[in-house]
Amino acid sequence: MALNLVKDVPILKGPALTMEYPSLGAPDLLRIKQLEEQASALRNSVICAFNQLLDLKDLNTGVHSTRLAEWGMRVGQELGLEESELQNLEVAALLHDIGKVGIPDAILRKPGRLEPDEYALMKKHSEYGWAVLRMLPGFERAALDILHHHESFDGKGYPAGLKGTEIPVVSRIVCVIDAFDAMVSSRPYRKGLPYEEAVRRLNEASGTQFDPVVVKSFLSFAEAEMSPVFAAAGTSVSSAL
Ligand SMILES: [Fe+2]
């Protein structure tokens, strides 16, 4: 298993403090700028470290994870999310399944259908992810977004059964891109769905499982992006699907 260092994680910076305190002197501004850069670098390092953890558990979708985060960000920008929400979206898109490190391999890698008790344990991964990330200063909100990434738009998801806009918008976005990725990705025990079938299923569940606004936004650019994504993963669209 190769470690996949995520070097190209797109990092957003929050609004510069220097903009908020125009009366500060040059040394103060310089110090603030240094602290901002340190905080940004630390945040980036944390994201990379957790990504490596996902790789160690063989839970990453490789090249896809960064690209999926970019897709999520594009949906978020199109929906008018504020910069702070986009930062949380970036973290949530990359690390939404970090809680799976707490799920036994026998369940994670079971090729067949999970038994009810196994599925109940698998569903714990969103809570596990929240429990870990909320401990990190600056990641508290992203932790909540991760907690709710398996809620369903009609209220039939987990863990809280939230409905519609009760579900954090970041969670609604991650839910759609995660589901799409799961559908088109091949696993050792099954082939990924063709793009067209994945789109059909997204549309079919739009308004029930998925937020229709998010689905519409995602599909507006997804098709044009598919070829470069699969090419980056070292395969062609036709062989991957
Ligand atoms: Fe998940």
pLDDT digits (tens, 9 = 90+) for 65-78: 677 788 899 999 99
Distance in Å, CA 150 to ligand 1 centroid:
6
Dihedrals φ, ψ of 122, to 5°?
-55, -40
Q: What is the pLDDT of residue 240?
A: 35
Per-residue pLDDT, averaged over 202-224, amounts to 94
Dihedrals φ, ψ of 206, to 5°?
-70, 125
pTM over 0.85: no
Q: What is the pLDDT of residue 223?
A: 74
Q: What is the pLDDT of residue 88?
A: 93
Q: What is the pLDDT of residue 56?
A: 86
Q: Per the structure block, which two tokens stand in for 183? A: 């559908």
Q: Per the structure block, which two tokens stand in for 143? A: 């932790």
Q: What is the pLDDT of residue 28?
A: 85
Q: Give per-residue pLDDT as tens, 204-214.
A: 999 999 999 99
pLDDT exceeding 90 applies to what percent of the chain?
56
Distance in Å, CA 4 to ligand 1 centroid:
20
Q: Which residue, among 57, 19, 16, 20, has the nearest Cα to 35 in the 3D structure?
A: 16
Distance in Å, CA 28 to ligand 1 centroid:
43
Confidence of residue 2 (pLDDT cuts 50, 70, 90): very low
Distance in Å, CA 224 to ligand 1 centroid:
26
Q: Is the peptide bond before 10 cis (omega within 30 degrees of 0)?
A: no
Q: Give per-residue pLDDT as tens, 21-55.
A: 667 788 888 888 899 899 889 989 999 899 888 88
Q: Is the pLDDT at 61 greater than 60, yes or no?
A: no
- CA–CA distances in Å: residue 210 to residues 77, 144, 178: 18, 18, 11
Q: Is the pLDDT at 140 greater than 80, yes or no?
A: yes
Distance in Å, CA 233 to ligand 1 centroid:
22
Q: State the chain's mean pLDDT as an integer.
A: 84
Q: What is the pLDDT of residue 19?
A: 60
Amino acid at residue number 196: E
Q: Write down how long the chain is.
A: 241
Distance in Å, CA 97 to ligand 1 centroid:
5
Q: What is the pLDDT of residue 189?
A: 74
Confidence of residue 5 (pLDDT cuts 50, 70, 90): very low
Q: What is the pLDDT of residue 80?
A: 96
Q: Is the pLDDT at 11 greater than 60, yes or no?
A: no
Q: Is the pLDDT at 225 greater than 90, yes or no?
A: no
Q: Which residue, among 81, 90, 202, has the nearest Cα to 153 in the 3D structure?
A: 202
Q: Per the structure block, which two tokens stand in for 198? A: 């994945």
Q: What is the pLDDT of residue 73?
A: 93
- CA–CA distances in Å: residue 207 to residues 6, 26, 222: 34, 53, 19
Q: Residue 110 carries which DSSP code?
A: -
Q: Per the structure block, which two tokens stand in for 225? A: 């992006």
CA trace torsion 97, 98, 101, 105 (10° rounding): 20
